[in-house]
Amino acid sequence: MIGIIEYGAGNIRSVSNALNRLSVQHFISNEHRKLNKADKLIFPGVGEARSAMDALTRVGLTDWLKEVSVPFLGICLGMQLLFDRTTERSTNCLGLLTGTNERFNSKQSVLKVPHMGWNQVQHEGNYSLFAGIATGEHFYFVHSYYAPLVSATIGTTEYGVRFTSALQQKNYYGVQFHPEKSGRIGLQLLKNFVELC
Amino acid sequence: MLTKRIIPCLDVKDGRTVKGTNFLQLRDAGDPVELAARYSDEGADELVFLDISATLEGRKTFLQMVERVAAALQIPFTVGGGISTVNDVSCALEAGADKVSLNSAALARPSFIDEASKCVGSQSVVVAIDVKRMNDSWTVWTKAGTEPTGRDALLWADEVFQRGAGELLVTSMDRDGTTAGYDVELLRTLSNRISIPLIASGGAGTHEHVRDAILLGKADAVLAASIFHYNKISISELKSFLHNNNIPVRL
């Protein structure tokens, strides 16, 4: 049973719809007592980092999130919040990974921000998250801040800079793109998380 | 590399897809969810659904359609048409849409853009601008292109960006439905001016028109309706053509 973490800052419905398509049983909750019963957790996130951290504090999930022992998948902002901090309103995040998320720079280049649309994810090595997914496949991205390259990085994407688009540290997985909105390939990645991670 | 997006647009009235020429003369083009699924299979990168229903009943039907689309498809989609309050924005996103497109309500009350982007984030707020050439300038029209606002399109685009829109959808009313090609000059002027993604709309008739909107107009995405609905152009063929012209697309 997959638990989807609801804290008012995620596109919960899309993730739930995608799991329905895969016929994967799941529930949505913001209570850690209930979420503790899940075999795996998905942590979606859309929007702004400070509000998301505030919302997590309000529902009392901040400390709990740092001590999850089951496979955990952070999506988009849900991945970025795993880092120390973000320059988005100078927000301290969960601190499971060392590094700071920064904003794409639209001033020094011709970059449009947000980075919006389908971009390629490069990955090397034998990661279960990418089983059956070729390197260079396209996934759907929507974000204005990006995560740095770190030792946990397992997938990268180029947009003005090369940034972390997928990561894994122990049981914590994260993807910057939206697998729930990335068509057939995105569904494959979610299936991999459910079945292989 | 970030690819250029191909976005079919579906105008929906009382639960059916319609497409007019020059904002008038509606013709029926089928069930929106069925059409959407076909486009997704053919390689559409995103979809836009515009609700042009005039009645409350029509609007309810539209939200139900949004839920059906979200359940049936795994690609992003935007909904627009008559969205005028933050509550409308929330309802559309809760029904499963990824973005909302604001138009007349933003013109009537520009701070609506600030409110919407604060509430759901800039990435989910598209502002649509209907533009008509008047002598040497471009002016913005409102209420589905029926009333001039007197606003200059370039200045309005600046304001829309500053107020927190995440994307700009620009329709050339002079070209819409004509299949005579996008207004490349308008697109290029806007794209050079603002630093959020620009979606080109109005006038697509051939593969070359789409190529020109991207290469000459510097559009980040192209939207079209009639050429896709009536099978004049298939999305997969269009994408192959763009790929052969060295434009990055998701094949």
ipTM summary value: 0.92
**Exposed, middle or buried: residue B135 (CB in 10 Å: 0-12, 13-18, 19+)?**
exposed
CATH code, B56: 3.20.20.70
Mean per-residue pLDDT of chain A = 94
Give the pLDDT of residue A45. Answer: 83
Is residue B83's pLDDT more than 60? yes
Q: Find out whether A86 and A145 touch, Cβ atoms under 8 Å.
A: yes
Which residues of chain A have a CB within 8 Å of the CB of B250? 118, 138
pLDDT per residue as tens digits for the range B63-81: 999 999 999 999 999 999 9
* Helix (H) or strand (E) segment spanning residue B223: strand B221-224
Catalytic annotation on A197? no
Task: Identify all chain A residues contacting B221, using CB atoms and an 8 Å cutoff.
Answer: 117
- State the pLDDT at residue B77: 97
CA–CA dist A73, A38 (Å, integer): 13
CB spacing of A46 vs B250 below 8 angstroms: no
Report whether pLDDT(B21) > 70.
no
Is the minimum CB–CB distance between B12 and chain A shorter than 8 Å? Answer: no
> Does position B39 have pLDDT exceeding 70, yes or no?
yes
What string of DSSP letters covers A83-127?
EEEETGGGEE---SEEEEEEE--SSSSS--SSEEEEEEEB--S--
**Cβ–Cβ < 8 Å for B74, B39:** no
pLDDT of residue A110: 74
pLDDT confidence band for B116 (50 / 70 / 90): very high
Q: Please compute the mean of the pLDDT values over residues B165-176 and round it to a whole number.
A: 95
Nearest CA-CA partner of A178 in A123, A122, A134, A117: A117
Total number of residues shown for chain A: 197
Say whether A76 is catalytic.
Answer: yes
The predicted pLDDT at position B26 comes to: 53
**Which H/E stretch holds residue B73?**
none
Question: CA of B197: which chain A residue's CA is closest?
Answer: A112
* Residue B202, in any domain of the structure: yes
Structure tokens at B135: 């002598």
Q: What is the DSSP letter of B14?
A: T
Q: Where are the extended beta strands (E) located within A136-194?
A: 137-143, 145-146, 153-159, 161-169, 172-175
Gyration radius from chain A CA atoms: 15
Least Cα distance to A77 among A106, A56, A60 occurs for A56
> Catalytic residue at A178?
yes
For residue A104, what is the nearest residue in chain B, using CA coordinates? Answer: B195
Instruction: Check CB contact under 8 Å for B3 and A117.
Output: yes
Q: In the predicted model, is pLDDT for residue A59 greater than 80?
A: yes
CB pairs under 8 A between A and B: 88
* CA separation for the pair B20, B54 (Å, rounded): 15
Cβ within 8 Å, pair B96-A14: yes
Annotated catalytic residue within A6, A26, A76, A88: A76
Min Cα separation B109/chain A (Å): 23
Q: Which of residues 102-141 of B touch A (CB under 8 A)?
A: 120-124
Question: What domain range includes position B175?
Answer: 5-244
Query: Do A46 and B123 count as a contact with CB atoms less than 8 A apart?
Result: yes
Residue B37, chain A, CB below 8 Å: the answer is: no
- Residue A49 corresponds to which tokens in the numbers above? 């980092």
- Note whether B87 and B93 are within 8 A (CB): no
Q: Do B195 and A112 touch (CB under 8 A)?
A: yes
- Asked whether residue B250 is assigned to any structural domain, the reply reads no
Instruction: Name the residue among B77, B36, B168 with its Cα closest to residue A13.
Output: B77
pLDDT, tens only, B204-218: 999 999 999 999 999
CATH architecture of residue range(s) A2-196: 3-Layer(aba) Sandwich (3.40)
Average pLDDT (B189-209) is: 95
DSSP B234: -
Tell me which of A89-98, A106-115, B124-133 is least confident.
Answer: A106-115
Domains: count for chain B: 1
- If you write DSSP's letter for every residue of B145-166 in order, what string do you get? TTEEEEEEHHHHHHHHHHTT-S
Tell me, yes or no, whether B144 lies in a domain. Answer: yes
Residues A165-183 pLDDT 10s? 999 999 999 999 999 999 9
- Our CA-based measurement puts residue B155 at a distance from the nearest CA of chain A, in whole angstroms, of 19
* pLDDT confidence tier of residue A119, bands split at 50, 70 and 90: very high
CB-CB under 8 Å, B250 with A118: yes
Which residues from A are below 8 Å from B126, CB to CB? none
d(CA B141, CA B155): 13
For chain A, the domains span 2-196
Look at strands B5-13 and B16-21 and give their pairing: antiparallel
In this predicted structure, which of A82-86, B18-22, B96-100, B163-167 has the lowest mean pLDDT? B18-22
CB contact under 8 A, A181 and B74: yes
